Amino acid sequence: MVPVDSEERAPADADLHRRLVYGDESALAEAYTAYGALVRRVAARVTRSPAAAEDVAQEVFAQLWSRPYAFDARRGSLRTWLSLLAHRRAVDWVRGEARHRKDVCADDSALHAIPEPGPGPDETVVDRERALLLHSALAELPQPQREVVHLAYFAGRSYRQAAVELGIPEGTAKTRLRTALRTLAETLADPTDPVWERGA
């Protein structure tokens, strides 16, 4: 786990957002210091690639700098917004990699009429495909449920911490989390994959 000390000392969203809108570069530096580790952590869990996570983080903060007005404090905290943005960018990266692999395979099959015998699919590829399925299903959840899942599974928060961060009762956070996990389990029904059972 990445220490959350810097996140706990994060600047007030309203002030930071106002300064970003007015083009204050020091505000961007503060946002990166406060939330950079979180953004990289979310991206790394989706992409399974530290290098890709760094690229995603750069894209996320570039968007924050170029389009700060896209953040709406009435819909949640800046930390949650950056986490969701990092997740979307990371899923886009995984999908791009999948398209690239398909193109490479198509080119390779044209060169080799008879495929060479070899081992099955690389585990990393399988893991990425599974991650893409999970995150695609996550994207279909209602936003209130998605926010709790993001905080609990990607930002490492307990449901009590998520409740405080989202400004909702603990019971509501717990119900949303359980409902979301049940929906995901039904969507991705695979008795051989215990990934969601571990988090239940």
- Domain boundaries in the chain? 1-134, 140-200
Tokens matching residue 104 = 């490479």
pLDDT for residue 121: 46
The tokens for 28 are: 């961007």
CB burial of 73-85 (b: ≥16 within 10 Å; e: otherwise) equals eeebbbbbbbbbb
Is the model's pLDDT at 36 over the cut of 90?
Answer: yes
Q: In whole angstroms, what is the distance from residue 123 CA to residue 139 CA?
A: 24
For 94-113, what is the mean pLDDT? Answer: 63
Q: Which fold has domain 1-134?
A: Rna Polymerase Sigma Factor; Chain: A (1.10.1740)
Kindly tell me if the per-residue pLDDT of 192 is higher than 70: no
pLDDT band at 41 (very low <50, low <70, confident <90, very high): very high
Q: Which residues contact 153 (CB under 8 A, 6 or more apart)?
A: 199
Per-residue pLDDT averaged across 187-194, rounded? 52
Lowest mean pLDDT: which of 90-99, 122-131, 142-151, 162-171?
122-131
Determine how many CB atoms are found less than 10 A away from the CB of residue 14.
Answer: 10
pLDDT at 35 over 90: yes
**Mean pLDDT of all residues belonging to the chain:** 75
CA separation for the pair 62, 194 (Å, rounded): 36
Report whether pLDDT(113) > 50: no
Percent of the chain residues past pLDDT 70, beyond the cut: 68
User: Which pLDDT value is given to residue 100?
Assistant: 67
- Check whether 4 has a pLDDT greater than 80: no
Domain spanning 140-200: CATH 1.10.10.10: yes
Q: What is the mean pLDDT of residues 177-198?
A: 63
Q: Residue 46 to residues 5, 68, 73, 88, 92: CA-CA distances in angstroms? A: 23, 24, 25, 9, 10
| Confidence check: pLDDT of 104 > 80 | no
More confident residue, 185 or 89: 89
| Structural contact between residues 28 and 11, judged by C-beta atoms closer than 8 angstroms | no
d(CA 122, CA 132) in angstroms, rounded, equals 16
pLDDT, residue 56, reads: 92
Secondary structure of the chain as H, E, C letters: CCCCHHHHCCCCHHHHHHHHHCCCHHHHHHHHHHHHHHHHHHHHHHHCCHHHHHHHHHHHHHHHHHCHHHCCHHHCCHHHHHHHHHHHHHHHHHHHHHHHHHHHHHHHHHHCCCCCCCCCCCHHHHHHHHHHHHHHHHHCCCHHHHHHHHHHHHCCCCHHHHHHHHCCCHHHHHHHHHHHHHHHHHHCCCCCCCHHHHHC
